[in-house]
Amino acid sequence: MAGRSNIVVSAAVRDALAGGAPVVALESTLIAHGLPRPRNREVAMELEQQARDRGVTPATIAVIDGVPRIGLDEPDLRRIADDVHVVKLSVRDLPVACATGWTGATTVASTALLASRVGIRLFATGGLGGVHRGAGDSFDESADLVTLASTPITVVSAGVKSILDISATLERLETLGITVIGYRTSTFPGFYLPHTTYDLDWRVGDASQVATTMTAADTLGLTSAIVVANPLPSDQALDPALHDRVLADALAWAAERGIRGKAVTPFLLETFHRETGGASLEVNINAVRNNVAVAADIALAWAATDPAAADRTYRP
């Protein structure tokens, strides 16, 4: 058999979970496909160290030679960052990658799924996938949404990128029963921007309130995710006027060139990178840093306040 589907948990993550200590999952698609080399490897290691500095064990997730791994050692992390042949794996891709021995980076959906399988309750990412503009015709919707609808994990993100249909995404989150709470905000963040025109029903003021919400969800027997919408500080966000101009131009250029379906998102992101002189990339990195910080705080609060943690820890 070329690959094995057994999930391998690193010793550090396994020990943390067994002891009820705080753990935060990190995706690997950002490393393999979201940032230029060698900056991607530097950021990956920085994010892991950021979690450790806050007293939290990081669990970067990927599939290595057909084996899902929760927590990467340095050689595997370097491989995900440096190897141009690393593929992008969503949930639907996992069985084939495992069966055929592929190495791949996990998306928000597949990271959330694998993390939850071993009992990790916190996950920090940049932005969620969502409903794409024009989805009424293309039916283009991220697998992140349906996966989170059936995965009991708390995801800290800076909302969704403004290139998506934010209104439709919020409607789908509601329909799918995914709890969305603003972290010290009453409006849904737009990733590059700290605020959009869309109000949130729920707002929390600190990490302990998120942990209490997680406990309540467990008590109610819910199996869907909690999305913590964490806006970037205004001084780290993209200039609103620049953002609006680039977005309008990018959408117009895509329409003029007949770019449709899956090709739209990479085109828009590349346009943002080019037209902002690389500023959008720095915003992306800052968003993940901020989300790791908040996720770590929530993980610490969860470990401290969860009275039944010992009953839900991972056992190898």
Helix (H) / strand (E) containing 61: strand 57-64
Least confident span in 36-45, 58-67, 115-124, 158-167: 158-167
For the chain, domains (ranges, CATH) are 8-307 (3.40.1790.10)
User: Per the structure block, which two tokens stand in for 16?
Assistant: 């943390």
Sign of CA dihedral 109, 110, 112, 117: positive
Q: Among this protein's residues, is 262 annotated catalytic?
A: no
Confidence band (pLDDT; 50, 70, 90) for 255? confident
Q: Alpha-carbon distance 107 to 99, whole Å?
A: 18
Distance CA(303)–CA(210), nearest Å, equals 12
> Residue 309: pLDDT above 90?
no
Integer angstrom CA distances of residue 307 from 155, 219, 226, 267, 311: 21, 12, 19, 47, 9
Q: pLDDT of 110-142, one tens digit each? A: 999 999 999 999 999 999 987 877 656 666 778
Rounded to whole angstroms, the Cα distance separating 122 from 24 reads: 5
- Average pLDDT of every residue of the chain: 91
Of the candidate ranges 101-110, 130-139, 222-231, 258-267, the one whose mean pLDDT is the lowest = 130-139
Contact 288, 126 (CB under 8 A): yes
Q: Which of 74, 161, 171, 262 is catalytic?
A: 161
Q: Is residue 92 a contact partner of residue 73, using CB atoms and an 8 Å limit? A: no
275 is catalytic: no
The pLDDT > 70 percentage for the chain reads 92
β-bridge pairing 67-70 and 87-89: unpaired
Going from the C-alpha of 232 to that of each of 106, 184, 284, the distances in angstroms are 24, 11, 10
Query: What does the pLDDT look like over 71-97, one tens digit per residue?
Result: 999 999 999 999 999 999 999 999 999
Q: Is the pLDDT of residue 157 over 90?
A: yes
